[in-house]
Amino acid sequence: MTLPTLELNWLAILAATASSFLLGGLWYGPLFKTRWCREAGVDPDAKPVHPGRVFATAIGCSFLAALMFAVFLPPNANAADGFGVGFVVGLFFVSMSFGINYAFAQRSLMLWMIDSGYHILQFALYGLILGAWK
């Protein structure tokens, strides 16, 4: 059995990875920081104990998610197709998985909406970038 050859656009994957950081900076910064911190029970002025580890983990996870999204995105997908697939993945895979966890953890609907909204847009951006950048 021969595995198919994957032709991946590594620059597009890196751009998609970077897009999650730009979006996260806006989403969890000026847009929702105060509300997210209140809902998550986090002190908005507290600094992470190991910020390097936090950011390294985040970039590693974002890179792997963008890489796997690129692998599973159909090769003939354009920007609109990619956006649509990303929206569906974000909404029905990531957001619904969070919904299960947040229900059992008894986290608020608002926290679920903030975190889910970020990931819906994150994957929609992945799809847009990867579909557009052939």
| Residue pLDDT, tens place only, 103-129 | 999 999 999 999 999 999 999 999 999
Contact 39, 108 (CB under 8 A): yes
As a whole number of angstroms, the distance between CA 107 and CA 23 comes to 23
How many CB atoms sit inside 10 A of residue 95's CB? Answer: 20
As a whole number of angstroms, the distance between CA 43 and CA 35 comes to 11
Model-level pTM?
Answer: 0.92
Q: What angle is formed at CA 119 by the lines to CA 109 and CA 58, rounded to 5 degrees?
A: 115
| Residue pLDDT, tens place only, 8-32 | 999 999 999 999 999 999 999 999 9
Share of the chain above pLDDT 70, in %: 96
Exposure on the CB side of residue 70, measured as CA atoms within 13 A:
23
DSSP label at 75? T
- The angle that helices 109-132 and 51-72 make with each other, rounded to 10 degrees, is 50
Dihedral sign of CA atoms 21, 24, 30, 36 in order: negative
